[in-house]
Amino acid sequence: MLKQRITTALIIAPISIACVFLLAVPGFSVFVGMIIVVSAWEWANLADFSGTARYVYAGFIALLLGVAWFAPPLPILAAALAWWIAALFLVTAYPRLGKTWSSKVTRLLIGVVVLVPGFVALVQLKQSVDNNFLILLLFFLIWGADIGAYFSGKAFGKRKLAPRVSPGKSWAGFLGGMATALVIASAMALWLGKPDLATGRGALFLAACLVVAVISVLGDLTISMFKRKRGIKDSSNLLPGHGGFLDRIDSLLAAGPTFSLFILTYGWQ
C-alpha cells in the first residue's frame, strides 16, 4: 500500500505542477474542471447514490461549472466560506447533528457548495497577478500542513483532534502542521521578495496562510465525516493507494475558496 501511495503521488504531483505552469487559463480551467467532475461522480457515492444517478450528478456539476465560468466569483466564494464555517460545527458535533444533513438530497446540494467553488477558486487564482506562485503556495500550504501533521502526530500525538470523525488525527499533529505551513509561507514570501513580512501587509499575509492551512484540515475532516456516515473508507478506487480524487483534493476544496477570497478581497502584495 505504501509503495502504491508513493508511486501514485510521484505521478500526480508533477502532472499537477506542470499544468499550473504550462497551461493558459482556458486549458487550466478544463484540467481543473475534469478533476471536479470526476470528484462529483465520487461525491454522489458519498450521498448514497449508485449507477446512472452518479453520472447524472457529474453531468449536472459539469453544467454548473460552465455557468460558474461566466458568473461573478465573489458570491460563489463567499457562499463556500459560509458552508465551511457551518461544516466546522457539524464536524465538532458529529454524530449529534448528523440528521440535519443525512438525507440524500441534502448531501447532493452540499456537494454543489463544495465542488463548484473549488473550481472557481483555482480559475480565479490562475487569472491573478503572480498566478503560478499563488497556486503553488496554496498547494504547498496544504501539503505542508498534511506532512507536518503526520510527523508531529506520529511523534507526539496523544490527544485526539476529532476522534468520532478521524481517529488518526491529533492536536499535536494539527499544531505541527500549522507550524509547518507558517514556515512554508514565510520561506516562499522571502523567496519571491514580497510581501515584506516585517510590515502589516506581511503579517496579514501570514495570518491568511495560517487560516488557509486550518481550513484545509477542516476540509479533510468534513469529507471524512461524509465517508464515515456512508460507511466507506475511500470515495472511490481510481487512484491506487490513495482512494479517489475526492480523497486527494478534500483539503484543496476547502482551502482554495478561502485563499482565493482573500486574494480577491485584500490582495496580498
Q: Report pLDDT digits (tens) over 176-230.
A: 999 999 999 999 999 999 899 999 999 999 999 999 999 999 999 999 999 999 9
Q: Is 60 exceeded by the pLDDT of residue 2?
A: no
Which residue is associated with the grid cell 481517529?
Answer: 167
Percent of the chain with pLDDT over 70: 96
Predicted local confidence at residue 4, as pLDDT = 66
User: What are the distances in angstroms from CA 56 to CA 35, 38, 64, 86, 108?
Assistant: 16, 12, 12, 27, 12
* Average pLDDT estimate for 25-32: 96
Give the model confidence (pLDDT) of 77-110 as tens digits. 999 999 999 999 999 999 998 889 999 999 999 9
Average pLDDT value for residue range 155-175: 93
Cα-Cα-Cα-Cα dihedral sign, residues 206, 248, 170, 226: positive
Confidence band (pLDDT; 50, 70, 90) for 242? low
Please provide the DSSP assignment of 18-62 as one string: HHHHH--HHHHHHHHHHHHHHHHHHHHHHTT--THHHHHHHHHHH
Residue 224 has a pLDDT of 94
| Mean of pLDDT values over 156-173 | 92
Q: How confident is the model at residue 3 (pLDDT cuts 50, 70, 90)?
A: low
Does residue 1 carry a pLDDT above 60?
no
- Say yes or no to pLDDT of 250 above 70: yes
* Average pLDDT over the chain, rounded to an integer: 92
Is the CB of residue 222 less than 8 Å from the CB of residue 250?
yes
Decide: 32 and 123 in contact? Cβ < 8 Å: yes
What are the b/e assignments for 40-51, b being 16+ CB within 10 Å?
A: bbbbbbbbbbee
Q: ∠ at Cα 217 (212, 222), nearest 5°?
A: 120
In the prediction, which pLDDT does 157 show?
Answer: 84
Residue partners of 174: CB distance under 8 A and separation at least 6: 149, 153, 161, 217
pLDDT digits (tens, 9 = 90+) for 127-139: 998 999 999 999 9
Q: Are strands 160-162 and 166-170 parallel, antiparallel or unpaired?
A: antiparallel
| pLDDT(7) > 80 | no
The confidence score (pLDDT) of residue 79 equals 96
Query: What is the distance between the alpha carbons of residues 182 and 109, in angstroms, rounded to a whole number?
Result: 34
pLDDT at 107: 97
